[in-house]
Amino acid sequence: MAEKKTPSKRKKPASSGKKPAAKAAAAKRVPKPGKETEKAAPMGGAPAPEAPFPALPAADLETLETISRNVMQSALKSQKLMADMMRRSLEGDPTLSPQADPLHASPELAKTWENVLGDPELLLQAQSDLYRGYLDLWAGATKKMMGEDAPPVIEPEKGDKRWRSAEWTEHPMFDAMRQSYLLNQRFLLNLVNNAKGIDEETRRKVNFVTRQMIDAMSPTNFALTNPDVLKATFESKGENLSRGLMNLVNDLERGNGRLALTQTDMEGFEVGKDLAATPGDVIYRNAVMELIQYAPATDTVRQRPILIAPPWINKFYIMDMRPQGSLIRWLTQQGFTVFLISWVNPDQSMKDATFEDYIRQGLFEALECVEQATGERQVDAIGYCIGGTMLGSALALMAAENDDRIASATFFAAQLDFSLAGELLVFIDEEWFKEIGRLMDAQGGVLDGRTMADTFNMLRANDLVWSFVINNYLLGKTPQAFDLLYWNADQTRMPKTLHLYYLEKFYKNNALSKGEMELGGHRLDLKKVKIPVFMQASKEDHIAPADSVYRSARLFGGKTQYMMAGSGHIAGVVNHPDANKYQHWINEALPESREEWLKGAKEHPGSWWPHWKAWLLSMNDAQVPARKPGGGKLKPLCPAPGEYVKVRS
């Protein structure tokens, strides 16, 4: 008889079907796919808040391992990237030399905070406000965790796009993080802005630098504190970080070691085809400019032509973007003969070009060409931004030389009095002048377009820097084609002599408005300019502030009309009537202050262009048969937009 065996009490190996401890624990923690799980309700019975990112499906360890592997690979690649950057810097490229304090603001920061710390009353008030804010925030956060509603303690500034994701307000953790950051921001800026014994120049620089640091420390800029990045990391298993790192590598390689932040698809547009496509021809070219004459769009045209002097710090086609928004196309459709100066994108051979060269070889030679092309001796001139600064200087020079070829002048967002010139004044001091000079010498006598782009991007860092850091490097996305950002990235170089002269004479010394500027052996006096003037300003312009433009309008000796548009430096100027956007304010008087002007100003909806057109026609509305480019003494050299505008920096 066979012996009866009893079952063994030894543990079966893992392969017998039992789950390993780690997998079993994971299975308990994470719901199985397809199974509905009941959310635990907090006290009071309210439903638990939604998670800021989706739960992992069955938290299979393979997913966690993939995320860990991608994050680790990104970290290793980052180390190599940093080593390459340090090596390039140490190799001696002067344009890559590290600047711990590029704005040379350390003395101003030290002085300001010394004054802050020496003011017990200011400190006590600021700390009391911060403490009270945090108490209210804690109470509100507790309510939200309990499923109750709680009004925010602090809200971001109007137009701050960093907090658009719903999680920043709906999820208690991210909402508390957002409000905590905003409370600290308010605390620091209040201390800086209310410090006693600080001159305006110092306060402006310290405020700017403090804002730069605050913006950089925003929780939106870090992967672990940005709900959108956390979502993307879990959904893509960390591939967003790998893609983002490659985007960063590509931007550094494109900038030869300097970060050339990609804001748009630079292959998404073609100048002359998608942008700057209004028909016309280049009828003249010299070392500093090409002159474009645009084709007529009507059978008859106004007798007196228009000549536009755009800024040379940007490409002119901001006024000729898409057809539906083009100022130049609109002017031709209204029956004007339009000429435009397209400035050269200068190389090292132009390092010694002067401000007077741009006036005489640019504006004055253009006036001669317009007369040869149309037979008309006088024009209505337009100057945009720095082109307007040049136009105002040229008008004072023409008044001194009894030159009356400009019958009226229109200024788009242009300054002649720089005492209230806005945030760009932060960059005007001796140390910054030395740094700019050093950079231009290192580049053979020109300032590269990237430096100019970086400067303007800093003025709106959250929109033009950090939003792309998040999109490109943390979310791992590729920027889409956007015409305005394409234009913004299509910067021009600056000749050393011209650029330093402009910064010193206007921003630093405000010489033109003071009557201390000389050109061609003449001391310039804007009071001698008696022609009609139209000064356009934009309410939210941070480059040519509305107050600064108003002070400029009062410098002329003739009748000047000041008009303020809604929006900023670009959208306030380029606002096609068909868009039905924004508004503008009109007041024919020009009292001593803009505050007084505003009291008498009437608001009108939409674009200001029709009002300006009526102003132009009120001075001269005689009509002649339409003029085609090449119909006069100057023959076409090439189709618009010409060759100079296509040269990239």
The CA distance from 409 to 346, in Å, is 27
Cα separation, 634 vs 136, in Å, equals: 73
C-alpha span between 600 and 400 (Å, rounded): 35
φ, ψ dihedrals at 126, nearest 5° = -65, -45
Strand pairing class (379-384; 406-412):
parallel
Taking Cα atoms as reference points, which of 648, 583, 577 lies closest to residue 326? 577
Neighbour-count burial of 524, counting CB atoms closer than 10 A to its CB (0-12 exposed, 13-18 middle, 19+ buried): buried
Instruction: Please give the angle made by the CA atoms of 208, 213 and 219, to the nearest 5 degrees.
Output: 130
Using CB atoms within 10 Å of the CB of residue 95, give its burial: 0 to 12 exposed, 13 to 18 middle, 19+ buried.
middle
Catalytic site residue from 282, 292, 373, 385: 385
Which H or E run includes 604? strand 602-605
Cis amide leading into 641 (omega within 30): yes
Residue 624: which residues within 8 A CB-CB, separation 6 or more? Answer: 300, 301, 302, 303
Tokens at 364, concatenated: 């004055």
CA-to-CA distance for 351 and 441, rounded, in angstroms?
A: 10
Q: Which two tokens stand for residue 68?
A: 């860990």
Strand partners, 304: none
d(CA 59, CA 54): 11
Active site residue 369: no
What the block records as the tokens of 310 is: 């755009």
User: Is 649 within 8 Å of 343 (Cβ atoms)?
Assistant: no
Q: Where does residue 175 rank: exposed (0-12), middle (13-18), buried (19+ CB within 10 A)?
A: buried
| Residues ≥6 apart with Cβ < 8 Å to 171 | 49, 50, 51, 52, 227
Contact 619, 598 (CB under 8 A): no
Contacts 24+ apart (CB under 8 A), 450-454: 450/255, 450/258, 450/260, 450/491, 450/649, 452/313, 452/491, 452/492, 452/494, 453/488, 453/489, 453/491
Please report which helix (H) or strand (E) contains residue 233, including its range.
helix 227-235
The residues annotated as belonging to the active site are 385
